[in-house]
Amino acid sequence: MKNTILIITLIAVYTLTFGQSKSEMFFPHALNKIEVDNACFFGMTNFLNYSTYEKISLDSLNQLPARIQSKARMIINSTMTGFLSRVNFIGANVFDLDSWQKEDTVSEIEFNPAVPKYELHFQLCDTLLGIRSYCVNLDFDQYGQVINYSWPTDSYSLSEKFIKPEKIKKKALEYAKRRKYRTKYFFSELTYDKTLNSLCWYVSFWQKTTYQRNGHTEKFKTIIIDVTSFKHIRECVTEFKTISGY
């Protein structure tokens, strides 16, 4: 199986690592648990360089145009049917696309082929599934067409289909031991895979710490498990690079 390397850089003033004693270690959230707790807050955005463009932030779905309200409710109701009592609207950004068109740059054209007019944010909480807080983003263009939605549109609408955290943990540990990973420390993250239109747990097992002059790198072996099935388990290598002295 071909591995993929995911590298994440952390700019920090500390050099705490998994290689140090337990009391000094840098712990990601919920160490050795299948749990996600991503803060969702009013005004958050996925839009590159959004701060340079004018936007209006709204805290009520009713403040949006009627068509956007209607389409947003229809999408959430049909794709998150079993979670409706546990998903809440957090806020929305409405961008001034005229100012964006005047100020766009090469990087924005390259990395943002579709710029949203309306960017909506919802928060899902379901502790029985290990979801303390998970952010669901739904973006529309100026015509009311969906250009981004961070929740699968098929087969993930019912909570009953989701595998319980303890079973995910057991399967991940079994797989990791079979692949001869180090299994003392791991952390998890819930991630939407847009390419496969699936929702997966990324369970990352710490393997080693490598030190550099200006920081260090934490290497993990990551197992990717669909939240509803054990049929297609994938793996990749994840690296967290910490730069010290800032």
More confident residue, 56 or 111: 56
Q: How many helical (H) and strand (E) elements, i.e. helices and strands, does the chain have? A: 4, 11
Task: Report which of residues 41 and 137 the model is more confident about.
Answer: 137
Average pLDDT over residues 43-58: 63
What are the distances in angstroms from CA 240 to CA 26, 180, 202, 218?
12, 21, 14, 5
Question: Token pair for residue 217?
Answer: 């790198």
Q: Looking at the predicted structure, is the pLDDT value of residue 150 above 80?
A: yes
pLDDT band at 242 (very low <50, low <70, confident <90, very high): confident
- Per residue in 79-100, pLDDT (tens digit) is 999 999 999 999 999 988 776 5
The residues, ordered by sequence, that sit 6+ positions from 245 with a Cβ below 8 Å of its Cβ are: 13, 214, 215
Select the more confidently predicted residue: 37 or 11. Answer: 37
Q: Nearest Cα to 180, choosing from 211, 223, 218?
A: 223
pLDDT-based confidence at 15, cuts 50/70/90?
A: very low
Please state the domain extents for the chain: 5-32+162-243, 50-151
Q: What is the pTM of this model?
A: 0.82
Lowest-confidence pick of 84-93, 100-109, 148-157, 232-241:
100-109
C-beta separation of 58 from 91 below 8 A: yes
- Locus of tokens 């690296």: 239
Q: Mean pLDDT highest for which of 51-60, 94-103, 124-133?
A: 124-133
Q: How confident is the model at residue 214 (pLDDT cuts 50, 70, 90)?
A: confident
Which range among 44-58, 82-96, 227-241 shows the weakest confidence by mean pLDDT?
A: 44-58
Query: What tokens were used for 86?
Result: 């546990």
